[in-house]
Structure formats: structure tokens, C-alpha cells
Amino acid sequence: MDYLPFTRPTLDEATIQGVVEVLQSGWLSSGPKVKEFEAALSEYFGGRPVRTFNSGTATLEVALQLCGVGPGDEVITTPMSWVATANVVLHVGARPVFVDVNPVTRNIDVDRIEAAITPRTKAIIPVDLAGLPVDRDRLYAIAEKHHLRVIEDAAQSMGATWQDRRIGSFGDLISFSFHANKNMTTGEGGCLVLSDEAQIPLAEKLRLQGVVRSPDGGMDVDVAGGKYNLTDIAARIGLGQLKRVDAFNARRRELVKHYFACFDRSLGCELPLEDFSDSNWHMFQVLLPLDRIRIGRGEFIEAMKQRGIGVGVHYPSIHLFTLFRSMGFKEGDFPHAEKIGRETVTLPLFPAMELADVERVCAAVKDIIEAARK
């Protein structure tokens, strides 16, 4: 039987041909395709200004810089995310302040945010884990009350909505990633949705070495920008993907509905929140009943691999990484995130999957867990 990875991008012939044309055009770096992609993204996000970057990490870092976050500042975020979310805070010299997650949504527990705010707090970075949006109404109410900026790490929630409004079409600064595993990809890449045209010049400077060109052919630099521009090759992939992302997400929803229908609830796995209104179902993650089986997560993953099924882990809680422990974080700080970090596994989910693949995954999980019961 074919190996079923936990995710795989869907690229069509027209996109592949379009990339060939870019390669033949002689213009490989940021050029006309980047401009076209940014215009298409802006339209997708209801007309807001959008700039592309070469990763979703770069977009977050530039967003922090646009908010003036730096040494001495604190940024509130979740420990249950890809480590990029916290690393960017360190990169600008600020301190990440983690707030534990809600065990049901697995997202930052909005009820606990206010207790973490100090006079040094400058911004909040909410993460829509697996594409399930954080409650934007309550989040922005807190941000406004305490005069905080919000940088939405929407790396996983492209095409998701909050109460019928598309993520990225409202709010402060919204950051997306187009990494190959995300719901739409450019290979590597990302985009930042701005709230005001006035933010564009600084965003563009921070993206490319701080350079501003003058009409006489010269240039000036007044800020040490990075090297974060997207290539036209990547932008062309993105143009092909953007056309299909809503259809991809609809297919993900169908597959997830089948997961919920087929998954044997008696196994004791904790399933994700059954949300079919807002989530884009970037991932389907279950928590293993590790206290009720004789095998560990590593053995479960290996047993799935033996059956030709790829399983991911997203994510170990960030605060328990050596780097963050060295800053004083420790076991017991965020019990909900720690439990998820220990037990979570990401089962296969991508648009090209068949319903039969979902059934195969559910059968394999059942087989392995039943054989390992204490």
C-alpha cells in the first residue's frame, strides 16, 4: 500500500507550467509576479494592504518591528505553537510571556491573558493552532482596554473565519505562512496584512536591507532591514494556490467530518474541538491515552509508520525547550500545554486524501491502541 504522509501539498499542472514560464522570463527574484500575488492577496483579504516575505517567521519579526517592540518589552503568547512564534520575540530583544492554553481549543486561554499583562507588555501574539481561530472579539477587547498591539500569528489559519469574517480581513497585523505544510504554499514564504497604507514604506524597508531608492538612481538606508523578500518563482506558486485554497479547505472539512464519523471514541483519545464553522482544519490532532496504554508516543508513531502511515507531532510545549528553560521556564508552569505537548499526534490530512485513507488511519489507530491496552 502507498505510504500516506501526514501532509502533502497539491500543485496543479498550470502552476507548474507557470513556474517554468517564470524561470524562462529571466526575472527570478522579486518582480512582477510578487506584485501580482500581493494584489491578489489584498483582494482576498478585503482590500487591506498586503506585503509578501520569504517566510512566516520573517513576517512575524517585521510585524514586531512595525509595532516598535524591542529590548525591555514583553509579548504575551502561547507555549503551544511552532517555536518561531517565541523565537521572533527573542530576535527583537523582547521577552516572551507565555499564557497557558485552554485544553478544549488548545489555543491561548483568553481568560488568563489579563493576569499576564504588566507595564512592560507591548503586544499579544495569538496563534490559531491547527487553524482554529482564537476568539477575536474577546482578544481585541482586552488589547484595546490595555492599549496593546496584536500580531495575529495566522500561519495556520489561511482561509479560516471568525464569525463569517475571513481571518486577515480585520484586526491589527495578521501574519501568514506559506511553508510547504500549510494550507496553501509558495514552497517557503509568507505575507503580512497591514492595517494602514502608512505602514507600507517601513514594512518594505524592513523587508530589504532598509533600502529606499531615490529618483536620481541613488539610495538611502535609515534602518537595518533584513533580507526577507519573496521570489517571483515562489509568488507564481502562490498565485496558483490562492485560487484553490478555499476548495482545499472545503475538502479538508469533508475529510475531518469523516474522521469524526469513523474514529472509535472508546479508544480514549481526545479529539480536537468539532468546529465546522470557523476552522480551516490545517491539522487533525488527537491526544493519545498514554496513561492507559503500554506504549509511548514514539512507539505509536513507529507502529503507524510500519503500517505505511505518517504521523507528526505539533508541538512540544515551547517553554520546555532548553533555550526557554534557561530563561527560567520550567515543568509545571503551563500544565495544559505540557499535557498536549506530551500526548499530541497529527494524523494525515491534506486535500488529495481519499475518504478511504481516513478509514485506513482510523483502523490503524484502533488496532495499535487496542493491542497496547493495559
Looking only at the bridges linking them, the beta strands covering 284-287 and 344-347 are antiparallel
Q: How far is the CB of 129 from ligand PLP (least distance, A)?
A: 7
Count of CA atoms in the C-beta half-sphere (13 A) of 322 = 0
By CB under 6 A, residue 309 contacts ligand PLP: no
By CB under 6 A, residue 56 contacts ligand PLP: yes
Taking CB under 6 A as the criterion, the residue among 81, 249, 279, 280 binding ligand PLP is 81
The strand pairing partners of 166, in sequence order, are 161
Q: How far is the CB of 156 from ligand PLP (least distance, A)?
A: 5
Binding mask 180-219 for ligand PLP (x = CB under 6 A): ----------x-----------------------------
By CB under 6 A, residue 153 contacts ligand PLP: yes
Phi and psi at residue 46, to the nearest 5°? 70, 25
Active site residue 182: yes
Burial 182-220 (b: 16+ CB within 10 A, else e): bbbbbbbbbbbbbbeeebeebbbbbbeebeeeeeeeeee
By CB under 6 A, residue 237 contacts ligand PLP: no
Nearer to ligand PLP, 7 or 81 (CB): 81
Between CA 233 and CA 224 the distance in angstroms is 26
By CB under 6 A, residue 75 contacts ligand PLP: no
Nearer to ligand PLP, 230 or 372 (CB): 230
By CB under 6 A, residue 84 contacts ligand PLP: yes
Q: How far is the CB of 54 from ligand PLP (least distance, A)?
A: 8
Cα 122 to Cα 74, 116, 138, 149: the distances in Å are: 6, 12, 18, 6
Nearer to ligand PLP, 237 or 303 (CB): 237
Which residue in 182, 227, 330, 366 is the catalytic one? 182
Looking only at the bridges linking them, the beta strands covering 190-193 and 173-177 are antiparallel
> What number of other Cβ atoms are within 10 A of residue 35's Cβ?
13
Nearer to ligand PLP, 105 or 156 (CB): 156
By CB under 6 A, residue 127 contacts ligand PLP: yes
Phi and psi based region of residue 26 (left: phi greater than 0; alpha: psi -120 to 50; beta: remaining) = left
Residues labelled catalytic: 182
Residues that bind ligand PLP (CB under 6 A): 55-57, 81-82, 84-85, 127, 153, 155-156, 177, 179, 190
